[in-house]
Amino acid sequence: MSIIAANLQAVEATIEAAVQAAGRQRSDVQLLAVSKTFPAEAVLEAMAAGQGAFGENYLQEALEKIAHVARAQPDAKVEWHFIGPIQSNKTRPIASSFDWVHTVERLKIAQRLSEQRPPELGPLNICLQVNISGEASKSGASEAELPELARAVAQLPNLRLRGLMAIPERATDGEQQRAAFARLRKLSDALRADGLALDTLSMGMSGDMDAAIAEGATIVRIGSAIFGARHYD
């Protein structure tokens, strides 16, 4: 078995244990394999092991990888999720090459993605990134601006607002990790109570996926636990 296949098995076991401990179903949580900085060959290896959804942060690198994978496996069903910072002059290739975008934090970006989404692809799935730890340097909409942003994005014709995403401050303590994820879940609950049909909480990475699943994550974004340590980031 390849290292990537073995790592995927180990991650799967972690997810299953966390799901069971939380009294949830395995099908409630999607594993997004974050392949940034790793070559297309690593993606193909993960695909051979049954992985079908991949997250990328850097647009140019992602576009090359997506094209490479499409040439190598033209019939494979692969889902691509953009999870990196978005520059407003780069929205067009994001709108046409990805199935999901997790990092929308401004209405202007959402409007461009909606305008530029090729209609034949169907709506682009969107998560709004929230700055859950309130750090000035981190990206994401503030909790205060979230309700208005969510209502506006939900109106855009070629997008489907699915939910919220966060990258909390790094914490090794499980309680601290859970508190941040619980905050995102409560924000999502409030928006749902307000009438928005959200079904996605994108939260949890290699170091804190159990805490995220305990607090209701529906997508965990896992990089290094699958592909190994990154050499640049």
Residues that bind ligand PLP (CB under 6 A): 34, 36, 57, 83, 167, 205-207, 221-225
Between 73 and 139, whose beta carbon lies closer to ligand PLP?
139
Between 83 and 184, whose beta carbon lies closer to ligand PLP?
83
Residues in contact with 1: Cβ distance below 8 Å, sequence separation at least 6, in sequence order: 9
How many of the other CB atoms lie within 10 Å of CB of 168? 25
**Among the listed residues 187, 172, 177, the one whose alpha carbon sits nearest the alpha carbon of residue 213:** 177
C-alpha–C-alpha distance, residues 173 and 89, integer Å: 39
CB of 220 to ligand PLP, least distance (A): 9
Between 57 and 73, whose beta carbon lies closer to ligand PLP?
57
Note whether 21 and 29 are within 8 A (CB).
no
CB of 3 to ligand PLP, least distance (A): 15
Structural tokens at position 46? 């993960």
Between 71 and 137, whose beta carbon lies closer to ligand PLP?
137
CB of 62 to ligand PLP, least distance (A): 12
Between 120 and 173, whose beta carbon lies closer to ligand PLP?
173
C-alpha–C-alpha distance, residues 67 and 49, integer Å: 20
CB of 203 to ligand PLP, least distance (A): 9
CB of 23 to ligand PLP, least distance (A): 25
How many of the other CB atoms lie within 10 Å of CB of 57? 17
Note whether 140 and 169 are within 8 A (CB).
no
